[in-house]
Chain A
Amino acid sequence: MNRLEALFIFIGLTMIAIGAFFDIVSGIGVLKLPNFFTRIHAVTIGAVGGSVLPLIGVAVVSLAFKDLGIQRFYLAGVSIAGAIFILILAPTGSHSLARAAYMMCKAPRKPLVYDALESSRREAKCP
């Protein structure tokens, strides 16, 4: 039993540390990338790699962490539910936001080389 707790705690801490690395990458990308449509890539890294993975890590740690008492199952359940919600809802929201910004010409597409979707828009060309 003690050895199983050690395995759970080290797996969870490894997942939290990998999530912190993904979050650093996402922060640098959001700050330095040139365009709205390229910043969406960085935010997706931050949502799936930097939030879902540490939340599952917190759940795995808290399942084996006897210092919390009986309330550790509550923390594990809340973390798993939040991870599943972020995994479903973050790509959906980003996709709808990108579609709105593309169709209504609200974001500049400056470094874009070839735009295949432009011919299927019914409205006038973007400036």
Chain B
Amino acid sequence: MFIEILITLAIAINMGFSMGFEPIVYNVISIVIVVYLAVSILYIIRLVKGPTIPDRVLALDALSYDLAVFMALLALLLRRPVIASGLIVLTLWIYAIDIYISKYIEAREMGE
């Protein structure tokens, strides 16, 4: 098992030296992007179904952190680095939503 992985890795490195690393990078990132899309569907199920308001906000947090990684991977896959520009702004807005919701819950103005 381990030796087979090592042999596969050696073959991949030799292929990379002979014909460039682009096919390896693009294949791996295509698979990982599908994984991130599937996990986003799980988060959306919890976001719609969540019994209380903190559950929904928590699912929204996880969904947007996934979206940030998705934007970076998409910029690497499509060879357009400008796509990743909105990543920092998205993170800061999600932190603002956290603080906003928790402040209004503690002031008894939201929920129930």
Chain A residues proximal to chain B, CB less than 8 Å: 2, 5-6, 9-10, 13, 16-17, 19-20, 23-24, 26-28, 30-31, 36, 39-40, 42-43, 46-47, 50-51, 54-55, 58, 61-62, 65, 67-68, 71-72, 74-75, 78-79, 81-82, 85-86, 89-90, 92-94, 96-101, 103-104, 106-108
Contacts and interface: CB of A to CB of B under 8 A. Distances in A.
Contacts of B38: 27
- Max count, chain A CB within 10 A of own CB: residue among B28, B62, B75, B105: B62
Given A39-B58, A50-B65, A50-B69, A89 B92 contact: yes
Given A9-B21, A50-B65, A89 B72 contact: no
A82 B32 CA distance: 19
Describe B's contact surface by its main secondary structure: helix
B94 A93 contact: yes
B102 A79 contact: no
Range of interface residues on B (Cβ < 8 Å): 35 or more
A27 to B, nearest CB: 4
If over half of A's interface residues share one DSSP class (helix, strand or loop), that class is named, otherwise mixed; here it is: helix
A9 B111 CA distance: 48
Interface of B: 9, 13, 16-17, 20-22, 24-25, 28-29, 32, 35-36, 38-39, 42-43, 45-46, 51-55, 57-59, 61-62, 65-66, 68-69, 72-73, 75-76, 79, 81-82, 84-85, 87-88, 91-92, 94-95, 98-99, 101-103, 105-106, 108, 111-112
Nearest to A67: B22
B52 A107 contact: yes
Contacts of B108: 104
A103 B91 CA distance: 26
Contact of A61 (B25, B102, B112): B25
B24 A92 contact: no
A85 B91 contact: yes
